[in-house]
Structure 1
C-alpha cells in the first residue's frame, strides 16, 4: 500500500510538471516578450491561452502536498524543515503569479497593468526554479530526518541545475503549446514566433542536461545509478526520443500533434526520477516503508484517492480536452468592465 501511494504521488508530480509547467513556460515567454509595444501580441495570446485552465493546474500541487503529509508525514516534516526557505519563496511566487495574472487584464491604468504583468512574469520564473531546487536537494540526499534548514540543502550544483532545468523544460512546454494556441486563435504571425522559441528552449534543456551529467554523478550518485541503468535509463531514452519527436513535428509544422510528445518527454523524466530513487523517498536515508504512516491511514488515503480519480479525473480530462479544442473562451475586456477609460496611458 505504501508503494502504491508513493507512485500516486510521483504521477501527481509528473502531472503538475506538465500542466503547471506549461503555464510557467507561458509566463517565462511573457517575461521575455519585450516592451509594451513589442510584447503586446505575445502577451495577448498568453492571456487568452491560459485563462481557462491556469487555476485548475495548481490542483495537482495541492494533491501532492495532501498525499505527502497524510501518507508520509515524516518525509513532509523533513522536507519542510530543511527546505522551508525555497518552499516559502515558491509559495510567495505562486500567490504573486496568480494575483498578477488575474489583476493585469482588468486594470485600467497602464502603469498598473505593467506592475501586475511584471509580478506574473517574474514569479513564473522564480517559482519553478525553487520547486526544482527542492527536488534537486532531495535527489542529492541533502535532506534527512532532523536536517536543519540551511543553504547547503538546496543551494548546491544539483539543486541549481535542477531548478534551471525546470525553467527550461517549462519554457519548452509553454512554447510548444503556444504554437498550437496561436493557430487556434488565428494569430498566424505568432506561430513562427513561438516555434523558434520552442527550438531555443529545447536546446537549453539539452545543454543543461549535458552539464548536469557529471554534476549528478558526483553529487547524487544513488539517483545517477538509477537513471543510467535498468528501467530508469529506458525511460530517460524514451523521454529524449519524445523530445526529438516534438522538434521533428515542429519542423514539419504539425502543431496539432506536437503537444503530446512534449508532455510525454517531461512526464517520463519525472517517472524515471521516481524509479531511480527506489526504494527511498529521501535517498539514502529513508525508504518508502520507513516513511509510511499508519496502515489504516494509508488504506483510507487510497480509498479517498480512488474516489477523487473517479469523480474529479473525468472532469479534468474534459476540461483539458475542451480547452485544446478551442471550446473554452476567456472573458473579453468588455465582460470584465475593463474598457478603455481616461488615464489608461498614465
Structure 2
C-alpha cells in the first residue's frame, strides 16, 4: 500500500515539474528579455501562453503536500522542520509571483509595470531553485528521520543542493522555451519561434552540462543515490538522455511538435530516476517508505480520495489544456491601458 502511495507522489512530482516548471521557466525568459521595447514581443507571448493555466498548475503542488503529510507524516515533519527556510522563500515567491503577474496587467505606468514585472521574473527563478535545493538536501541525506529538525542552513546551501537547484532553474527555462516555440508557431510568428528556439537549444546544452556536474557532485556527497542512478535507475536516466538529445536535434531542425514531446519525456524521466534512485528510502539510508508510512487504513482512504480526484478533477484539467492549446479560451482581463501609455511614456 505504501508503495502505491509513493508511486502516486512520484507521478505528481513529475507532473508538477513538467507543467509548473514550464511556467517558472517562462518567468526566467521574461527576466532576461530586455527593456520595454526590445522585450515587448517575447513578454507578450509569455503572458498569452501562461495566462490561462498558470494558477491551475499549482494544484499539483498542493496535492503533493497533502499526500506527503497524510501518508508519511513524520517524513513531512522532518522535511518542513529542516527545510523551513527554502520552503518559506518558495511560498512567498509563489504568492509574490502570482500577485505581480496579475498586477502587471492592470497598472498603467511603465515604471510600476517594471517593478511588478521584476518581482514576477525574479520569483520565477527563486522558486524552482528552492525546490531543487530541497531535493538535493534530501538526496544527500541532510534531512534527519524521526520528525526532528536538521541544519536549517547547511541542509539546502551545500554543493548538492546548489547544483540541483541550478538544474531545476535550467530545466524550467528549457521546458518553457520549447513550449514557447510551439506557441509562437501556432500564432504564426516565425520571428518569435526562432527567438525561443535558439534559447531552447542553448538551455538544453546548459542543462546537460549542469547534469554532468551534478553526477560528479552526487558521487561524493550522495553515494547511495549515485550508486542507484548508475544501476537500478539507469534506464530512466538513459531514456532522459536519449529524449533530451532527440529534442535537441529536432529543435535544431525546427520541428517544434516532436521536440515538445521529447522535452517533456526528458524532464519527467529525471524526476522518475531520482525516485527510483532513492528507493526504498524516503530519506536515503535513514527512513524507508514502508517504515515512514501512516497506518494502512489511512493509506487506503488516501488512495480512494486520489481516485476520486482523478475522476473529478483530472477531466477538468484536460479540458482546460485542450481549450488553451486550441485558443478557445478568452483573454484574461480587459484591454490594458498600460499598453497605450507605453507607446508615449519614456522607458
TM-score (norm 2): 0.95
Deviations 1:134-188 (A, max 9, x none): 0000000110122334211111111000000000100100000000111122222
Residue range with higher mean Cα deviation, 336-345 or 211-220: 336-345
1:295 Cα deviation from its structure 2 partner: 1.4
Q: Does the 8 Å contact 1:84/1:149 carry over to 2?
A: no
* 2:302 aligned partner: 301
Rounded to whole Å, the distance in 2 between the matches of 1:103 and 1:280 is 43
* 1:323 aligned partner: 324
Deviations 1:42-83 (A, max 9, x none): 101100011010011111100000000111110110000000
* 1:100 aligned partner: 100
* 1:211 aligned partner: 213
* 2:166 aligned partner: 164
SS at match of 1:281: strand
Aligned residues: 344
Rounded to whole Å, the distance in 2 between the matches of 1:151 and 1:345 is 45
Q: Does the 8 Å contact 2:142/2:150 carry over to 1?
A: no
* 2:191 aligned partner: 189
Rounded to whole Å, the distance in 2 between the matches of 1:121 and 1:15 is 22
Q: Does the 8 Å contact 2:109/2:338 carry over to 1?
A: no
* Matching of residues 152-301 of structure 1 within 5 Å: 152-230=154-232, 232-301=233-302
Q: Does the 8 Å contact 1:16/1:61 carry over to 2?
A: yes
Q: Cα distance 1:129–1:292, how it changes in 2: closer, same or farther (>3 A)?
A: same
1:343 Cα deviation from its structure 2 partner: 11
Q: Does the 8 Å contact 1:129/1:166 carry over to 2?
A: yes
Rounded to whole Å, the distance in 2 between the matches of 1:186 and 1:207 is 33
Rounded to whole Å, the distance in 2 between the matches of 1:162 and 1:169 is 10
Rounded to whole Å, the distance in 2 between the matches of 1:114 and 1:337 is 15
TM-score (norm 1): 0.96
Q: Does the 8 Å contact 2:197/2:251 carry over to 1?
A: yes
The two structures, once aligned, show a CA RMSD in angstroms of 1.7
Q: Does the 8 Å contact 2:246/2:262 carry over to 1?
A: yes
Say whether 1:33 aligns with 2:44.
Answer: no
Q: Cα distance 1:33–1:303, how it changes in 2: closer, same or farther (>3 A)?
A: same
Deviations 1:173-204 (A, max 9, x none): 00000001111222221011000000110011
1:249 Cα deviation from its structure 2 partner: 1.6
Rounded to whole Å, the distance in 2 between the matches of 1:290 and 1:213 is 28
1:340 Cα deviation from its structure 2 partner: 3.9
Say whether 1:51 aligns with 2:14.
Answer: no
Rounded to whole Å, the distance in 2 between the matches of 1:224 and 1:151 is 23
Mind listing any 5+ residue stretches in structure 2 that lack a counterpart? none
Residue range with higher mean Cα deviation, 140-149 or 97-106: 140-149
